[in-house]
Amino acid sequence: MYIDTHAHLNYEDKYGDVAALLHAVKAAGVEKVISVGWDMPSSALAAAMAEKFKMLYFAAGFHPSDCAKMTDGDLDRLAALLAAPKGVAVGEIGLDYHYEGYDERAQQRAFAAQLELADALGLPVCIHSRDAAEDTLRLLKDNRAKLTHGGVMHCFSGSAETALEYLRLGLYISFAGPVTFKNARKQQEAARAVPDDRLLAETDSPYLAPEPLRGTQNTPANVPLVYKTLALLRGQDEAQLAARIAENAHTLFFKLKNEG
């Protein structure tokens, strides 16, 4: 059975009938999906969906591109959401310098505040980093004491060398659809370098559909294609790799919730 450790099923206008979608996801062999928030409304919706559907769990937080939406009291509201039995992480949080007009200082303040929140709640973090590797690594090193409950570099697109830096901080590395792309040599090298006990897989749905579905709307039903590629890259049996990733997901996300 597969676990999709990062998807955005909380896009109300993307998937139509969520119950039907999850039926197809389950039929594809996917056992659990973590639906991840990017601001307050999406986090609240992820929490509500997890309460409704047995296979869903959720993370709540402010994406760096949405940190300007944060208002007084939002950290407390995130904490209240994550007190639910199926709240498993603070995320997604991090830094994103890709689009013009970003505010480095505001993103870094929001990132640090949410790392502190996760530490206070005893939860792991789900980290987004885009065109900001140096600052992401520096900020995480500066806040190393707040990472005692672990975390994951989601949809990792960096080098093997960068992955090793994150591994030294005790973080997990998660790969999504791009690792299946033919020109993704850097990600594929990193995927080979990550130890078995720090590896995770995801879809980042509705984005980044894996080959051979690239360019279509992604869903958690496609996560087996990511597992298949990881197994081929690493020279491992796919079923054994899936069992190992499930164990890793349980250790990071579900152990404190008595789930999985």
The closest of 64, 36, 39 to 123, measured between CA atoms, is 36
Q: Are 154 and 130 in contact (CB under 8 A)?
A: no
What is the average per-residue pLDDT within 234-254? Answer: 97
pLDDT at position 257: 58
pLDDT at 250 over 70: yes
pLDDT at 94 over 80: yes
The domain covering 2-257 belongs, at the CATH homologous superfamily level, to: Metal-dependent hydrolases (3.20.20.140)
CA distance 31 to 146: 30
What is the average per-residue pLDDT within 107-128? Answer: 98
pLDDT at position 256: 62
Contacts of 106 (CB under 8 A, 6+ apart): 67, 68
Average pLDDT, the chain: 96
pLDDT at 5 over 80: yes
Band (pLDDT 50/70/90 cuts) for residue 101 is: confident
Band (pLDDT 50/70/90 cuts) for residue 202 is: very high
* Cα three-residue angle 101-6-141, rounded to 5 degrees: 60
What is the average per-residue pLDDT within 170-188? Answer: 97
Residue 73's CB is within 10 A of a number of other CB atoms, namely: 9
pLDDT at position 100: 87
CA distance 93 to 107: 9
Q: Taking the domains of the chain in order of start, what are their residue ranges? A: 2-257
pLDDT at 171 over 60: yes
Band (pLDDT 50/70/90 cuts) for residue 13 is: confident
What is the average per-residue pLDDT within 52-60? Answer: 97
What is the average per-residue pLDDT within 182-191? Answer: 96
Single-letter residue type at 260: G
Band (pLDDT 50/70/90 cuts) for residue 213 is: very high
pLDDT at 260 over 50: no
